[in-house]
Amino acid sequence: MNDGIVISIKVQPNARKDKIIGEYGEQLKIAVTEQPEKGKANKAIIKIIAKWLNIKRAKIEIIGGYKSKDKEIFMRNILRKDIDKLVACLAQEAKLKDRDVDSVKSSAKRPFMRFGRNLVL
């Protein structure tokens, strides 16, 4: 298995709009318009993350919480620029919500992200 990261997410199905909401406790919250049935919401999550980071869907895999609102997402061969984009978006979200932007900028301290080398699934 190649390098990658695991992201812990909280899913909000049946939302009005597909979007990444931001931090939710120790998770990243994502809203999807799909219903949580027959894997529709799971596919929507992968599509949203792939579009957001401009990476192929094949590099994203749900590794835990298939039938839960709490999920673990593994992203293969993720590049540092992709992580920087993720962190920049979170910083922008924090700025819009008048939160402490400096607490968001360090990707190494994000509780919803785990970096790994040769992660075993």
From the list 1, 12, 5, the residue with the least C-alpha distance to 86 is 5
86, containing H or E segment: helix 80-96
pTM for the structure as a whole: 0.71
Residue-averaged pLDDT of the chain? 77
**Which pLDDT score, from 0 to 100, does residue 52 have?**
82
Whether residue 88 is contained in a domain is answered as: yes
pLDDT digits (tens, 9 = 90+) for 68-90: 999 999 988 886 677 677 767 76
Whether residue 64 is contained in a domain is answered as: yes
What average pLDDT does the segment 80-106 reach?
60
Q: Render 10-38 in DSSP notation, one character per residue.
A: EEE-S-SS-EEEEEETTEEEEE-SS-SST
Whether residue 121 is contained in a domain is answered as: no
Enclosing domain of residue 13? 4-116
Q: Sign of torsion, CA 3 12 57 103?
A: negative
pLDDT digits (tens, 9 = 90+) for 31-72: 999 999 999 999 999 999 888 888 899 999 999 999 999 999
Residue 104 has pLDDT above 90, yes or no: no
More confident residue, 36 or 91: 36
**Which pLDDT score, from 0 to 100, does residue 13 have?**
93
Residues 84, 102: Cα–Cα separation, whole Å? 14
Total number of domains constituting the chain: 1
Q: What is the CATH number of the domain that holds 11?
A: 3.30.1200.10
**Which pLDDT score, from 0 to 100, does residue 10 have?**
93
